[in-house]
């Protein structure tokens, strides 16, 4: 690929990646503020801002051969006039001609066009060829002189994520000025790796991302940059894994009699998947190399029982266990469940709770019992990592929904042991294998892919607003039979930014009108912890028939009597998120129902249809990945460094080659000091992906 960098006259001497965007021509304070909304402040930020899609205007068509749709012509503009029409609208009309014929051009509310166009000059003209007032015309086209470097016409146009009052055209104009910097960017990958895979240079790849000359050039750029994304992420994960292998952890002996005693007292039989995962955990903990295992299981697959069985071995060995959950509600429920599971073995009284919502006297008492060793299974939230908590005999750390914690919080908890403890991470979010291998390269992964017997399938139905009366009648019959319902809304309060039904609005509507004969409660994230716990406890105790909530109930809430989940504005939720939400119902012996209420009567999309037809979280996760394509692979996680913006996690061939290259890099004993960019990226990603 040959990249031609246009000669650009700039009013500053040297442009670098650190040059502020305000130094560019046309970027004053107002425009800079728009760039800042997109997180762009320097030339480096701008170059690193990849297009979200492309529009192809690269094919030149003679005017006589134009067909309705997106078109590009090369023509001379013969005449241009402007006039105001009804209600102050301005219309500019021009005639463009080539050797084959002429065509009319029309612009709306762009009065400068008539004087800006140079007659008898040849232009590239790109726009939509469509019918207007019974005549085919090119509407609101972009025009650029053929003598200039085309940025908005006659090429594959990058389209960027925009903000109000700020367009891709302005972003392209700024990038045009940054092209000299792109042209001299150094290589970031080892040369042996570039040659081995036949990659174009990083400089050429970035040039093609922003100004592709052809679809083939763009494909090569995406191959190179996508490979690098996965390579760096995998390299960081593998380095974490090898560094962990030199650490020492206390070996926890496996006692078959203890395991059998635990299983004997369970009110149900373990699934084959649970037995297999427990055995792998026991084998891990017998080693002096720290266990670092992720147990991945769909909603209701029995992760808590697996964690309890692992904890029993540590407790029997005379040491301590800590379980950290993302919310107080979930921590309290874990503590209650664990007491029941461990009581038959004599450890129920050693389970203790430590959460921020406890009163000072309760916290002090908990701290004292932990320090004295009376509490040896500590369940809590971020309160566990406070300096006042003494967990010196800690041998096992269990982290539930680990992706919701920052790296510093996880590492602080583990540091309390004074040595590297064994780590068991749990997630109820199904992760496609390609994603798991990329993101969790330093972890050993176990999957609970079988649900305990007796769990009924949740019936999921899409509903439109005009079907509310019939739906509410069905719901009332369930409530009359003693069941309960969750209603989940996308917002807490009304918002002009996102027109959708809010939890507060729905609470008023249900409690005062539609279900005024029922006891309705409201729960959302802005409430005080004590108030949230009180409302949730009322729902658990069946004092409330309906609980209106936001997604605060997404993870871990266990109310077996709740059989109905109504999700308002369902099209606004992610596929995986809805799957998690509907997992809150059908946890008892009664049939579970999940109703996906649309905001309007438009046809539901592919995601909602998939939820209606499948309850397999792993299949849905694969579909979600296909629909979303590359993107934030940690979902709502606070760490943007883990975004894959180019690589597609469905591209198994690319992922396999990038992982193999990362392993080869380590096997060659390459020194990252030789590759400054790689060194910085790997350091950042190691901090984000490292669960130790």
Q: What pairs with residue 139 in β-bridges?
A: 106, 128
Q: Please tell me whether residues 421 and 350 are part of one structural domain.
A: yes
| 573 within a domain of the structure (yes/no) | yes
In 3D, which of 201, 206, 142 has the Cα closest to residue 170? Answer: 142
Into how many domains does the chain fold?
A: 4
> Exposed, middle or buried, 401 (CB in 10 Å: 0-12/13-18/19+)?
buried
| 33 within a domain of the structure (yes/no) | no
DSSP secondary structure of 276-325: HHHHHHHHHHTSSSPPEEEEEE-TTS-HHHHHHHHHHHHHHTT-EEEEE-
Task: Report the number of secondary-structure helices (H) and strands (E) in the chain.
Answer: 22, 20
Q: Please tell me whether residues 351 and 376 are part of one structural domain.
A: yes
| 183 within a domain of the structure (yes/no) | no
Classify 113 as helix, strand or coil.
helix
In 3D, which of 315, 322, 324, 321 has the Cα closest to residue 346? Answer: 315
Region of 486 please: left (phi>0), alpha (psi -120 to 50) or beta: beta
- Distance CA(468)–CA(476), nearest Å, equals 12
Give the list of residues 6+ apart from residue 188 with CB closer than 8 angstroms, or none: 202, 228, 675, 677, 678
> Rounded to 10 degrees, what is the CA torsion of 184, 189, 194, 199?
-60
DSSP letter, residue 494: -
CB atoms within 10 A of CB 378: 25
Q: Please tell me whether residues 478 and 358 are part of one structural domain.
A: no
- Distance CA(49)–CA(224), nearest Å, equals 16
Region of 418 please: left (phi>0), alpha (psi -120 to 50) or beta: left
Which residues span the domain enclosing 337? Answer: 256-286+301-427
CB atoms within 10 A of CB 2: 6
Q: Please tell me whether residues 605 and 664 are part of one structural domain.
A: no
Q: Under a CB-based contact definition with an 8 Å cutoff, are residues 209 and 228 in contact?
A: no
- Distance CA(410)–CA(414), nearest Å, equals 6
- Which of 100, 126, 154 is the endpoint of a domain? 154
Q: Under a CB-based contact definition with an 8 Å cutoff, are residues 450 and 270 in contact?
A: no
DSSP letter, residue 632: B
CB atoms within 10 A of CB 301: 26
| 266 within a domain of the structure (yes/no) | yes
pLDDT of residue 556: 58
Q: Which whole-number Å values give the CA distances from 306 to 259, 299, 446, in the listed order?
A: 11, 14, 11
In 3D, which of 246, 191, 197, 189 has the Cα closest to residue 682? Answer: 189
- Distance CA(682)–CA(242), nearest Å, equals 14
State the CATH number of the domain containing residue 418: 3.40.50.300
Q: Under a CB-based contact definition with an 8 Å cutoff, are residues 73 and 99 in contact?
A: no
Q: Please tell me whether residues 547 and 466 are part of one structural domain.
A: yes
- Distance CA(152)–CA(58), nearest Å, equals 10
- Distance CA(355)–CA(357), nearest Å, equals 6
- Distance CA(620)–CA(462), nearest Å, equals 16
Q: Please tell me whether residues 478 and 518 are part of one structural domain.
A: yes
Task: State the pairing for strand pair 562-568/484-488.
Answer: parallel
In 3D, which of 235, 232, 210 has the Cα closest to residue 157? Answer: 210
- Which of 126, 154, 182 is the endpoint of a domain? 154
Q: Please tell me whether residues 473 and 606 are part of one structural domain.
A: yes
Maximal C-alpha separation, the chain? 94
pLDDT of residue 413: 62
Q: Please tell me whether residues 77 and 143 are part of one structural domain.
A: yes
Q: Walk along the chain (692 residues) in steps of 10 and give the mean pLDDT of each run.
A: 50 78 92 92 94 88 92 91 86 93 93 88 92 88 88 89 87 93 94 96 96 93 94 86 78 94 91 93 92 82 92 93 86 90 93 88 89 90 76 85 55 70 82 61 73 76 92 94 93 65 91 94 85 87 93 72 92 83 82 91 85 82 66 39 69 84 92 90 71 40
Alpha carbons within 13 angstroms on the beta-carbon side of residue 458 total: 32
Give the list of residues 6+ apart from residue 395 with CB closer than 8 angstroms, or none: 249, 250, 252, 314, 317, 319, 320, 321, 417, 421, 422
Rg for the chain (alpha carbons), in Å? 30
Burial state string for 435-464 with b = 16 or more CB within 10 A and e = fewer than 16: bbbbbbbbbebbbbbebbeebeebebebbb
Q: Please tell me whether residues 521 and 545 are part of one structural domain.
A: yes
Region of 451 please: left (phi>0), alpha (psi -120 to 50) or beta: beta
- Distance CA(53)–CA(51), nearest Å, equals 6
| 661 within a domain of the structure (yes/no) | yes
In 3D, which of 345, 379, 331, 340 has the Cα closest to residue 366? Answer: 379
Q: pTM score, two decimals?
A: 0.68
Q: Please tell me whether residues 335 and 228 are part of one structural domain.
A: no
| 465 within a domain of the structure (yes/no) | yes
Classify 157 as helix, strand or coil.
strand
| 200 within a domain of the structure (yes/no) | no
Give the list of residues 6+ apart from residue 252 with CB closer than 8 angstroms, or none: 285, 286, 313, 314, 317, 319, 395, 396, 422
CB atoms within 10 A of CB 157: 24
| 197 within a domain of the structure (yes/no) | no
Q: Under a CB-based contact definition with an 8 Å cutoff, are residues 413 and 265 in contact?
A: no
- Which of 127, 154, 181 is the endpoint of a domain? 154
Q: Please tell me whether residues 469 and 559 are part of one structural domain.
A: yes
- Distance CA(326)–CA(518), nearest Å, equals 31
Q: Please tell me whether residues 267 and 382 are part of one structural domain.
A: yes
State the CATH number of the domain containing residue 143: 2.40.50.140
């Amino acid at each position: 690929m040959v990249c031609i960098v246009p000669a650009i006259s700039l009013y500053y001497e040297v442009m670098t990646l650190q040059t502020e965007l305000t130094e560019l021509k046309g970027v004053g304070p107002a425009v800079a503020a728009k760039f800042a909304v997109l997180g762009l402040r320097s030339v480096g930020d701008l170059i690193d801002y990849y297009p979200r899609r492309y529009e192809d205007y690269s094919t030149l068509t003679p005017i006589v051969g134009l067909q309705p749709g997106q078109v590009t012509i090369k023509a001379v503009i013969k005449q241009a006039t402007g006039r105001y029409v009804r209600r102050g609208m301005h219309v500019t009309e021009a005639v463009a001609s080539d050797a084959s014929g002429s065509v009319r051009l029309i612009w709306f509310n762009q009065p400068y066009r008539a004087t800006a166009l140079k007659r008898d000059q040849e232009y590239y003209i790109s726009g939509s060829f469509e019918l207007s007032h019974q005549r085919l015309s090119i509407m609101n086209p972009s025009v650029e002189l053929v003598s200039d470097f085309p940025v908005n016409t006659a090429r594959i146009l990058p389209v960027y994520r925009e903000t109000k009052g700020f367009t891709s055209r302005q972003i392209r104009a700024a990038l045009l000025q940054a092209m000299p910097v792109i042209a001299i960017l150094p290589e970031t990958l080892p040369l042996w790796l570039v040659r081995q895979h036949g990659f174009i240079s990083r400089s050429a790849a970035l040039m093609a991302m922003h100004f592709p000359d052809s679809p083939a050039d763009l494909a090569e750029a995406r191959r190179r940059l996508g490979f690098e994304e996965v390579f760096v992420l995998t390299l960081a994960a593998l380095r974490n894994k090898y560094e962990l292998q030199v650490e020492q952890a206390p070996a926890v002996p496996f006692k078959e009699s203890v395991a059998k005693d635990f299983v004997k007292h369970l009110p149900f039989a373990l699934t084959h998947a649970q037995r297999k995962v427990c055995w792998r955990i026991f084998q891990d903990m017998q080693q002096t190399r720290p266990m670092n295992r992720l147990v991945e299981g769909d909603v209701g697959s029995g992760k808590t029982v697996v964690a309890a069985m692992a904890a029993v071995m540590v407790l029997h060995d005379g040491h301590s266990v800590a379980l950290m959950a993302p919310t107080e509600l979930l921590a309290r429920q874990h503590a209650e469940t664990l007491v029941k599971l461990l009581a038959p073995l004599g450890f129920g009284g050693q389970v203790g709770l430590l959460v921020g919502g406890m009163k000072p006297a309760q916290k002090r008492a908990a701290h004292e019992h932990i320090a004295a060793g009376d509490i040896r299974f500590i369940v809590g939230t971020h309160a566990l990592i406070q300096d006042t908590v003494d967990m010196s005999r800690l041998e096992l750390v269990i982290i539930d929904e680990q992706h919701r914690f920052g790296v510093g919080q996880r590492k602080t908890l583990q540091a309390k042991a004074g040595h590297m403890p064994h780590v068991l991470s749990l997630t109820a979010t199904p992760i496609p294998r390609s994603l798991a291998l990329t993101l969790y390269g330093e972890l050993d992964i176990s999957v609970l892919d079988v649900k305990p017997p007796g769990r009924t399938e949740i019936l999921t139905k899409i509903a439109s607003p005009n079907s509310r009366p019939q739906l509410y009648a069905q719901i009332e019959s369930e409530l009359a039979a003693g069941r309960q319902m969750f209603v989940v809304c996308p917002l807490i309060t009304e918002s002009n930014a996102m027109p959708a039904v809010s939890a507060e609005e729905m609470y008023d509507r249900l409690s005062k009108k539609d279900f005024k004969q029922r006891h309705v409660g409201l729960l959302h994230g802005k409430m005080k912890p004590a108030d949230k716990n009180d409302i949730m406890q009322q729902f658990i105790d069946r004092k409330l028939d309906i609980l209106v909530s936001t997604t605060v109930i997404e993870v871990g809430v266990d109310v077996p009597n709740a059989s109905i989940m109504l999700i308002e504005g369902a099209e606004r939720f992610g596929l995986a998120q809805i799957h998690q939400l509907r997992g809150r119902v059908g946890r008892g012996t009664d049939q579970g129902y999940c109703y996906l209420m649309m905001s309007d009567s438009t046809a539901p999309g592919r995601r909602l249809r998939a939820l209606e037809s499948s309850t397999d979280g792993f299949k849905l996760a694969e579909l979600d990945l296909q629909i979303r394509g590359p993107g934030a692979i940690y979902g709502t996680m606070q760490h943007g460094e883990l975004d894959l913006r180019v690589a597609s996690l469905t591209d198994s061939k690319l992922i396999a080659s990038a992982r193999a290259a990362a392993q080869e890099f380590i096997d060659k004993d390459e020194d990252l000091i030789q590759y400054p960019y790689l060194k910085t990226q790997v350091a950042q990603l190691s901090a984000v992906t490292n669960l130790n």
